[in-house]
Amino acid sequence: MPFATAATGAASVVGYDLVGSATLSPVLAAAEGTTPSSGLLAWAAIGAFLAALLLASQGYREPARYLGAGAWIAFGVFWVTMVPYYYGEAQSPLKTILGLLALPLCLYTGYLLWAGRDSLLILTKAVACMGLIYLPVETIPFVKTWLIETTAAQTHFGMELLGYSPGLIEGSNGYVSKFGFDPNETVTGRTTYIVLACTGIGSMAIFGGLIAAVTAPLKRKVTAFALAVGVIWFLNLVRNVFIGLASPWGWFQQDWLVSFMTTYMGAEASRVSFLVAHNYIAQSLSIVALVGITYLVVKILPEILRPLEEALFVLTGTEYDLFEALAPEGTPARTDGGPDGEQADHDRDR
């Protein structure tokens, strides 16, 4: 997240990342804040996940477990390397905490897989699929440019609906994605620009990975994915407009809040509105959005509850039957034997 100095008056708007899923998704693996070595570590982990799944599909369960366990360890180490950035430059308490928790959670996941909990392979598959969705967007320049600049144009249109028309200019990231507010006319003298994280691609990759990992009729999988992407796109647009206006116009520049943030959080006074809007309000609401979108997707594709059950087991050590609790009425009983069953998915057609 390339924050510019006060002289340039720019700060990045970070897009709709469902941070509540940070330990399960590679959405920031090669995005702003990574070093070349940490980005390489993340992609190596994704590659190892895929190799482990290939071994498992060929019947080599034991080597698959060992390789998968190593991949989870590498994935956890990657998130720890992000903690200094989250704490320092990004000044995001929530992401800092999640980054710190990621290592023990990933280590424990790797241990469980190594010890023989093969049902975790579906969670491994989901994370690998998330990486496969995100990687082309990050590595193909024209796709990345199109996504960033299209998101910027849509965000600008949203601002125009509210009576603001700053125009779009080239930002320090090289994309025509910076909102051209006049620093002499705004409250804080700052403006914002769109980066890849603002596009919502990370959140889309999370749900895309979960949906791709399970076995279900194609029609329901496509419907669930379209619903998730549509809701994420809309909420991401609202979020970008909110942060993009709150930062220059000082919506949260109240004296008591500025004093608290500068004294105890080490923030620059002119960045307080941005930090409150982005790091506290938007990131907190993103967790609510994550739960809500998951609920909607489950109504269409209850099969995604299987990897979520595995995630809950890692977090709590308790087996859950989410299918029985949350699946829509009229859904046939699961055929995988419950949380302890060997079969990863339950087929259901409509």
Measure Cα distances from 81 to 14, 71, 289 in Å.
Answer: 19, 16, 27
pLDDT in tens, 219-242: 999 999 999 999 999 999 999 999
Q: 158-165: long-range contacts at Cβ-Cβ below 8 A with a sequence spacing of 24 or more?
A: 158/237, 158/238, 158/240, 158/241, 159/241, 159/244, 159/245, 162/241, 162/245, 164/245
Of residues 320 and 3, more confidence is placed in: 320
Q: Is the pLDDT of residue 134 over 90?
A: no
**Residue 140 has what pLDDT?**
83
> Residue 1 domain-assigned?
no
> Residue 2 domain-assigned?
no
**Residue 14 has what pLDDT?**
42
| Total domains, the chain | 1
Confidence of residue 33 (pLDDT cuts 50, 70, 90): low
Q: Is the pLDDT of residue 8 over 80?
A: no
**Residue 330 has what pLDDT?**
57
Q: What is the pTM of this model?
A: 0.78
> Residue 332 domain-assigned?
no
pLDDT in tens, 229-281: 999 999 999 999 999 999 999 999 999 988 888 888 788 888 999 999 998 99
> Residue 122 domain-assigned?
yes
Kindly compute the dihedral angle of the four CA atoms of residues 253, 254, 255, 257, in this order, to the nearest 10 degrees: -90
**Residue 197 has what pLDDT?**
85
Q: Which residues are catalytic?
A: 198, 239
Q: How far apart are CA 290 and CA 309, in angstroms?
A: 16
User: Across the chain, what does the average pLDDT equal?
Assistant: 83
> Residue 339 domain-assigned?
no
For residue 206, what is the enclosing H or E element? helix 201-213
> Residue 221 domain-assigned?
yes
Residues of the domain holding 236: 10-326
> Residue 5 domain-assigned?
no
pLDDT in tens, 203-213: 999 999 999 99
> Residue 345 domain-assigned?
no
Question: Side chain identity at 76, as an amino acid letter?
Answer: G
